[in-house]
Every structure is written in C-alpha cells, then in structure tokens.
Amino acid sequence: MIRFADNETIFTPETMTQRRIDTTDSDNELSRLLQDVRACRLCEQHLEPNPIVKAGSTARLMIIGQAPGTRVHATGIPWNDPSGDRLRAWLGLDKETFYDTRRIAIMPMGFCYPGKGRSGDLPPRKECYEHWHHKILARLPRLEVFLLVGLYAQQAYLPNAYKSLSENVKHWRDWYPRLIPLPHPSPRNTLWLKQRPWFEEEVIPQVRNHVHDLLINQADK
Ligand code: SF4
C-alpha cells in the first residue's frame, strides 16, 4: 500500500471513494502528469528510460502489471506481446477495447524495461511505485476494479497478501470484486496454468463477466 508523502494518508483502492470526492483533477491535469511521467529519468543510471503507461480520466478498470518486456519497450505499446494476447483472451477483449483509455488504464509496477539479469528480466524499479503510482491513481477517480497481474502488484496492493502468487490467486475471492490477483499471462507460466486448471475453468469466466459488466453493461453509469 502507498503512503502519501503529503498527508500521511494510507492509499488503498478502497479509500479511493473518499479521494474521488476530494479530487477535482481534469483530463488536462492527467495529460500533464503523463507528460511528466514520459519525461521521467529517475532511473537513468540503471536503465534506458522509456515509460509506458496508458490512462484516461474516465477509466474504470486498472491493469497493474510488472514491467515492459523488450517488445513492449521497442514498440511503446503495453501488453503488445504474447502475454498481452493471453491476457486479452482471458478477459475476452479485443485490442480496440483493451487499448481504449476511456475505459481501461494500464500501469505496470515499473514503467520502463528494467533490463536483463542472470535469470531473465530484472524486477521492476521500485521508483515508479513510490514516485508515480499514487499521483496517477489520484487522477483516475472512476476506477472500480484493479487487476493485479503478478506478485509485485499483489504485494503492493492486496491487503493481507499471501507470500506466494499461487496462494493469492487461490484465495482471489478474499478481495473480489474490487481487487483481483492474476498470474502473469506470460508463455513462461504455461506450466503453472496447466497444473491449476481451475484457474482458467473457474476464475477466468467470472473475471471476464465482471470486466464485461463493468466496461460494457455499465458503460453509461
Ligand atoms: S522506471 Fe519509472 S521512475 Fe524509473 S525512469 Fe522509468 S518512469 Fe522513471
């Protein structure tokens, strides 16, 4: 969870209702903030800055992932890879809807590709979470549902999270319908999915219906 530097308020998705009353931020303010994010160089000693975040002030669904991979870094389009294809298939969303920032905001834990380590990509830089996340969330007053993709997002945003991603996903009902922990849809996790068929058979249909209800059936609310 995020602690605001200004007033020591603990930020959680649950407290956003109160903040939405206090927030008068406009599309212009969000645009200015996103310009600042895109100019961010906080981690330039560690990586090649190329922040990838998409959001519109009317978004109702937030997808918080891990960090861009090489293909996303090269194209500047979030989830523009096989992981994104599987995530869209899980949610039953075409690309047009998925990238419609009026409905869906996309923000990884680390906005820039973190580079390679000995065993794959490095973890997301924590600077984004500490410096940017609460500022962006404060300008998205209509968010109702958060998809927390991967353990980093779950550790940051799930109250009383378990230590493992598998446990968080197994206990997904603990936080439903506002916060939904998901495994990363990377092809590298295909074995995890095969070993837990209940996830795609039972969890995904409910999540998909929930997202469709939010984005499509309640679109005018
Ligand atoms: S990872 Fe985040 S904090 Fe670091 S340079 Fe990129 S946008 Fe800035």
Q: Is 111 in the pocket of ligand 1 (CB under 6 A)?
A: yes
Which residue owns the Cα nearest ligand 1 atom 2? 128
Comparing CA positions, the residue from 209, 199, 144, 192 lying closest to residue 172 is: 199
Q: Is 122 in the pocket of ligand 1 (CB under 6 A)?
A: no
Give yes or no for a contact between 40 and 111, defined as CB atoms under 8 angstroms apart.
yes
From the CA of 47, give the closest atom in ligand 1.
5
Could you list the pLDDT tens digit for every one of the 221 residues in the chain? 443 333 333 345 555 544 444 445 568 999 999 999 999 999 999 999 999 999 999 999 999 999 999 999 999 999 999 999 999 999 999 999 999 999 999 999 999 999 998 888 999 999 999 999 999 999 999 999 999 999 999 999 999 999 999 999 999 999 999 999 999 999 999 999 999 999 999 999 999 999 999 998 766 66
Q: Which ranges constitute the DSSP H helices of 7-52?
A: 16-22, 27-38
Q: Is 99 in the pocket of ligand 1 (CB under 6 A)?
A: no
Domain count, the chain: 1
Q: What is the DSSP string of 141-170?
A: TT--EEEEESHHHHHHH-TT--SSHHHHHH
Domain span at residue 195 reads: 2-217
Q: Is the dihedral of CA 204, 150, 128, 96 positive or negative?
A: negative
Angle at the Cα of 31 from the Cα atoms of 27 and 37, rounded to 5 degrees: 145
Q: What is the CATH number of the domain that holds 102?
A: 3.40.470.10
Which residue owns the Cα nearest ligand 1 atom 4? 43
